[in-house]
Amino acid sequence: MTTPLPEPSPVDWPALFTRAEPVDVSTPVLLGILAVAAALCIPRATWQYFGLFTTLVHELGHAVAAVLTGRVVHGIRIRRNHSGDALSSGRGVLGSVVSGMLGYPAPAIVGAAQLWSVFNGYTAIALFAGGVVLLLTILVIRNLFGVLVVLASAAASALLWFFASPTVQSYALLVLGIALLVGSVRGLATVIGVHTRRRSQLATSDAYLLFRRTGVPSPVWLLLFAGVIGGCVVFAVSSFVGR
């Protein structure tokens, strides 16, 4: 005799778009979340995968800044070696500069926003917004590997949004937000290394490209990147402490 499968629970659609009670994060749970986030973005074995998502967020930072300053985005590419580019065009220098500035800080900005969302009860809304952005990104991805990265990221977001409990959603977004903050710091360390030890690769540095566009020295842009990323870390910590 075959046992019938249980009926799937209906999706509580209103709950997916409304504010919920913030998740309670005890010290042991927080330590566990920090450990998982570190495991994603520090060991080389896991960073080779999670770093692709960080690169995607980096390039989306360029693209979103370009759109907000009136530029036209022509395409985004993500490569296996964690490099990428976001091509845009438009009149004036300001849009080009703003777009160039927001690559390295973008993962930290998104990570801090995710942590704030969790601590203020907007986890489901944050997941939904992130999923929509990822789906729209398909329209501007210009290489097959980049499409695979975007689809995998969107699928993970959709699975969490539809099927995970609010608590699991919150913990997952906390892990992702912290990992993005760490990934942003790691990206900043990498670009500083390009300027100090691997100057033959300067053409890959946003700070160097901004110097070429504006004449403002690269160290100024590196300090600006560091300031924004550091501010995001402080904001994220204050969101936890002040919850």
Question: What distance lies between CA 79 and its chain's CA centroid?
Answer: 16
pTM above 0.85, yes or no: yes
Query: What are 105-125's pLDDT values in tens digits?
Result: 999 999 999 999 999 888 888
Share above pLDDT 70 across residues of the chain, in percent, rounded to a whole number = 91
The dihedral over CA atoms of 180, 159, 132, 13, expressed in degrees to the nearest 10, equals -130
Band (9; pLDDT cuts 50, 70, 90)? low
Query: Which long-range CB contacts under 8 A does 127-131 form with residues at least 24 apart?
Result: 127/157, 127/160, 127/161, 127/169, 127/173, 128/16, 128/17, 128/161, 130/157, 131/157, 131/158, 131/161
3-state SS assignment for residue 5 = coil
Residue 10 has pLDDT above 70, yes or no: no
Spatial separation of the C-alpha atoms in residues 239 and 243, rounded to whole Å: 6
Band (93; pLDDT cuts 50, 70, 90)? confident
Band (91; pLDDT cuts 50, 70, 90)? confident
End-to-end CA distance of the chain: 53
